Structure 1
Amino acid sequence: MRTYLPFLLIFITLLLAGCSSAPEPAKVSGPSTNQQLLPVNTLAAFEQQWRGVPYRYGGNSKHGIDCSAFVQLTYQQLANIRLPRTTAAQAQYGVKIARSELVSGDLVFFKTGWSSRHVGIYLSHNNFMHASTSEGVTISSLNTPYWRDAFWQARRLLAHGQ
């Protein structure tokens, strides 16, 4: 029995070490993969359901919604991905990409004031959906002078959330 004890201890140690190993990292839809997490037609149909819902700071319903809540809700309902509630926190998710690499579902961020930030979801052809302070939920173009000048960054979310 004594001769088996060292082998038994080694076996138990290896077994426990296997249980405590770190999980494999999630695959990233990185800048070079150019893959869509959410197809444009799915996003456009969702935007149509919310079109015209007024902007309300802190709002998260069809009575009024702000930009980060709209992005959070869209990803929760369409991709089962839980995003943080604020634009600042959402700006830390996924991987930063160049504007030229945008595909539908990527997040677009804007500096709209000294300390104000805004977020939307890219569709295609330089259009993005968002909760606008002046129009409510709508689609806008990145090419308009306002959005072009305010553009801050774009981020692609991870395939399995962050």
Structure 2
Amino acid sequence: MFDSFRHIIILAFITLALGGCASTGHLQQARSDQPGHLPPAAIEGSEKAQKLWQVFERYRGTPYEYGGTSADGFDCSGFILTAYQEGLGKQLPRTTSQMLASGEVVQPGQIEPGDVVFFRIEGKEQHAGIYMGGDRFIHASTSAGVTQSSIRGYYWSGRLTQARRFD
């Protein structure tokens, strides 16, 4: 009986580790990632980016929690869901896979602040964030919690697979 219980615990741990929003690795933080500094898109006047940035500032540093959708902890899709609800008054699908099946596909050269960007990690699209302009996106990562990163940063470079717009 102990072996069965142990196998269930191991299986549950593996499922959690492999599922959801995997964003392990080293993140490149921009110098603008300081309190009170807005990314270029917000400074340039994108109302959508400014509203999303305000939500980001409220939750910056909140730890990663698989399945999380609150200030106690977020996973990547939970943060996106909350940012869109609080910042834009919009309801998005709950999971990354549901988001991938919704919204309007955005071509790579036409990504705008507020678009949801998706990244391929370990062979499948399982991480997402919100594009903020320039090369910045905000997201909940397993290693840093709610943070901003460079799409061209060490870990993220070459992993962006697509973007969706939810207007």
TM-score, normalized by length of structure 2? 0.68
2:155 alignment counterpart: 146
1:125 alignment counterpart: 134
What count of residue pairs does the alignment treat as equivalent? Answer: 123
RMSD: 1.8
CA distance in 2, matches of 1:62, 1:138: 13
Matched, 1:71 2:80: yes
Q: Which runs of 4+ in 1 moved over 4 A?
A: none
Percent identity over the alignment is 39
The structure 2 residue matched to 1:112, chosen from 112, 121, 129, is 121
Q: Is the 8 A contact 2:70 2:82 kept in 1?
A: no
2:49 alignment counterpart: 40
Give the deviation of 1:50 after TM superposition. Answer: 0.4
CA distance in 2, matches of 1:78, 1:47: 9
TM-score, normalized by length of structure 1? 0.70
Distance 1:38 1:133, change over 3 A: farther
1:22 alignment counterpart: none
1:16 alignment counterpart: none
Amino acid at match of 2:129: G
Matched, 1:156 2:160: no
